Structure 1
Amino acid sequence: MESEVIVLGSGIIGLTSAVVLAEGGRRVTVWAREPAEETTSAVAGGLWWPYRIEPEHRVADWSVRSFEVYAEQAERAAVTGVRMRTGLQLGADVDGLGPWRRALPEVRPAEPAELPGEYTAGVRATVPIVDTATHLAHLRDRLAAAGGEIERRAAGSLAEAGRSAPYVVNCTGLGARELVPDESVRPVQGQLVVVANPGVTEWVVSAYKDATATLYALPQPYGLVLGGTAVEDAWGTDPDPAAAAGIVARCARIVPEVADAEVLAHRVGLRPARPAVRLEAELLPGGARCVHNYGHGGAGVTVAWGCAEEAAELLEAA
């Protein structure tokens, strides 16, 4: 059966969009330049929390909707990779969280005794944390069950995809820089270290919007994810030993147990940053309708379901 929709990209944005469309009755094929396990999504720490993504008023709705979906999926954590976990956002206050805070069923200012080191403020909240490897596999399974397919293929142009189906959903992330082309899409390099978890059960984050060096410790089933970095316009994906040492040292200041933890893995990913997420439709040469869904910065996990559902609505508006 010929495809009705070509979804470009196999990261969390692309696969979530494909699942929403396929489960809504569309005949969907994903064109994947690389398999999901080699995308930036597979490297992500997986915490639901808007970070390096604009515009705020739209991000709020996308984030809230995604939170709702993840909360349901957390009831089947072993299959979906989603768990609800309480943690601490250091240096934040409840009133400054933005309109997306309405998603949080449990949020309060941290007590002084809960704040480590030099921190004088913080927010405690319960949010989804996603094991992205498990979640991407879950999305692939849902897509297949709904009749969708994944083809290992890189689009040479949007027009090429438009010649293969009447609808295209562009979820190419950083690849949109050349494919569209859209020079406003830029990489923000992130490095993290995975260590054997010494018993940490709650997440902790201190990541200011424009900081190059961030700090987070995220408990996942496969280990404790320590971060991180946020280096703009850096394209390299090889781990930097000095950056890794800095990550562990920063985390050890608030979680001393990680100083001697066994290092299990080093990871580097490139966040697809843009001044604002591009989620809109246009007609391609030849008449195919293209819905763009890219530029999610450091919050692809956070907004994936909200953006996917809006992309489906834009496609239905044709």
Structure 2
Amino acid sequence: MNINIYQIDTSRDRKRICFFGLDEIKELTGVDTLNSGIYDKIFSGDVDCNNLEAVYRMFNTDHPAGYTGRSLSVSDVVEITDGDKKGFYFCDNIGFQKIDFDSSLCKDLTATEKLSVLLIQPGKASRMVEIPDTLDAMQELVGGYIEEYMPFDDEVAIIVNEEGKLKGLPPNRAIYAEKAETEIPSYAELKRIFMEAESVRKHLTAHITFTADSFKKEYSEQSRTYVVSSDNKAYWSKHLGLSIFGSCLDGTDQRVNLDKYMAEEHGGADGWKVEKCVLVSSEKEIADVIVGDFFIVKAPVDSEKYQSLTKDLEKKYSEKFKYPERFYRQNGEIKVHQIKPKERSDAR
């Protein structure tokens, strides 16, 4: 149903009727009609409710995202704008009373510009919500003073509760460090790094690019670049094996025994010569864990105001933060388990 909610602005309430029932207000004011001029429209929109009692429960105990008014209470007015129950209803001491009400005399606080943001809550899938473009609405959404966090290359900001970690709010989502790439000065140095890593059973990954003149045909750099793991026998200490398996980046040459071709291994003087070696991180590393409710909004560098997420940013970050995450410790490190809903066998 579509509704509007009106609440008394206590600064204009000279007769102090806020939170009084309809009969009490009539006694205090001496008139039968409600003074609409002291009311503000503080909400307007569709709600998933079938009746006024459901509206009362929603706005009293489970506020919609972005709602900045008081909890629905006695003296508030709810307008139903569609259906056969269309009209104005006074929230009385018991139930609702249909009344005459001139909404044109009310101050409209819903006319504020809106922002479409991506809301992410612990244990829930991400979802788009619309909130007023006000500081109060943003603080309401995260449950306290806001803090801006911009870990991504896109012009987006994560808006969090600045005291979330101090207050012990529940872990929500992890932010991962970008994959690191470090150029190694020589293959000999890369080999030394690989052998040190394998001595403590830590597997590393590198991209080894061979020079164009190592080949009789012309190949692109991706075709000349092979992904190689330190988890190869040639990098294991005290091992008789010498094999080094790798696959080129474009997928055209898979599981090649490179040590037979490399000049610096067993390929001989006419073997493939190494042009460069780049060490790459093979696992996602947690850079931070965001706690409590937070949202993502567009934050152009040349603007002082936040903006609604564009469709492409909405799609990208809805997917990035789609599923809730569970955090646990293992061997002294924080680990993350993504919680995906089980697929139903009867799904179409």
TM-score (norm 2): 0.21
**Which structure carries more helix by proportion?**
1
Greater C-alpha radius of gyration:
2
Identify the structure with bigger relative contact order (alpha carbons < 8 Å, sequence gap 6+).
1
TM-score (norm 1): 0.22
